[in-house]
Structure 1
Amino acid sequence: MSKQQREKLEVETMAFQKLQKEYSTLIETRQKLESQLQENELVDKEFKLLKDDARVYKLIGPVLVQQDKPEAVANVDKRLEFIRGEMKRVEQRVEQLAKEQEKKSVEIFKLQMDIQAISQA
């Protein structure tokens, strides 16, 4: 096995590991976003059950501060929009990384097979 082939295999393996690390980080991010989405959707449903003149409070640090219902609803709507946008972006990157991982895996496998064939010759 040549030094050049070993180095190429090492570089490809490290690149693959980097892709795997980013992939797992994105999966964690997606899970957090899904949790935030569910929480905010629940708040949005609760707001729809309230009367227009209902008092709404927002927790800021250790203090509950009264907030206008329309303002609170608008804030939750903006948060939902943001979370959905982030989820879409993360999902696209997850798909892209999955494809890149597959390509890298095939490259590594071919290199290993080439090295093995040379070793046996």
Structure 2
Amino acid sequence: MNEAIQKKFQQEVERLKGLQKDSQKIIQSRQQLDAQLNENTLVLEELQKLESDANVFKLIGPVLVKQDTEEAKQNVQKRIEYIQGELKHCDTTLKDLNEKQESHKESIGKLQQQMQQMQVKAAMKA
């Protein structure tokens, strides 16, 4: 009986570690997305200040290609919307992972209590 509880305890700990690792990856992704969002927001603000006939260039590989100002604004706005969607996805995933972690922490706590109770009973018998 004791071995079964210890095995289940180990499995719960391993699952919790895996979830924590996944959370770290999502947090890193979210930080990168935040940086991209800030960068693109600044670019859009600068584009908004330009006259409609201003020259705008886009870097494609090693070449600067002339681009229409309105087209550039639309492209940056679409990128911002995409990044915001990815941020929402990250937030949802993180929330789900946190809930799973809490569930595993509760299971671990219950298993620890069971193991302590078994140790106390074994000590009383001895």
Instruction: Please state how far the C-alpha of 1:65 moved relative to its aligned partner.
Output: 1.2
* 1:12-31 equivalences in 2 (<5 Å): 12-31=12-31
One-letter code of the match for 2:49? L
Mean alpha-carbon deviation: is it higher for 65-74 or for 77-86?
A: 65-74
One-letter code of the match for 2:4? Q
User: 2 CA distance for matches of 1:34 and 1:43?
Assistant: 14
- TM-score between both structures, scaled by the size of structure 1: 0.95
Is 1:108 the counterpart of 2:90? The answer is no
Which residue in 1 is equivalent to 2:7? 7
Which residue in 2 is equivalent to 1:78? 78
1:84-117 C-alpha deviation (Å, 9 max, x unpaired): 0010111111111111111111110110111121
* 1:39-54 equivalences in 2 (<5 Å): 39-54=39-54
Aligned to 1:66, the other structure's residue is in SS state strand
Mean alpha-carbon deviation: is it higher for 62-71 or for 48-57?
A: 62-71
Instruction: Please state how far the C-alpha of 1:14 moved relative to its aligned partner.
Output: 0.8
One-letter code of the match for 1:4? A
Instruction: Please state how far the C-alpha of 1:24 moved relative to its aligned partner.
Output: 0.7
One-letter code of the match for 2:73? V
Aligned to 2:57, the other structure's residue is in SS state strand
Instruction: Please state how far the C-alpha of 1:68 moved relative to its aligned partner.
Output: 1.1
Aligned to 1:31, the other structure's residue is in SS state helix
One-letter code of the match for 2:77? D
One-letter code of the match for 2:111? L
Identity %: 41
Tell me the matched-pair count. 121
User: 2 CA distance for matches of 1:117 and 1:60?
Assistant: 67
One-letter code of the match for 1:92? T
Instruction: Please state how far the C-alpha of 1:21 moved relative to its aligned partner.
Output: 0.6
1:22-61 C-alpha deviation (Å, 9 max, x unpaired): 1111111110110000000000000100000001011112
User: 1 CA distance for matches of 2:59 and 2:119?
Assistant: 67
Instruction: Please state how far the C-alpha of 1:3 moved relative to its aligned partner.
Output: 1.6
User: 2 CA distance for matches of 1:3 and 1:61?
Assistant: 60
Unmatched 5+ stretches in structure 2 = 122-126
User: 1 CA distance for matches of 2:59 and 2:113?
Assistant: 60
- TM-score between both structures, scaled by the size of structure 2: 0.91
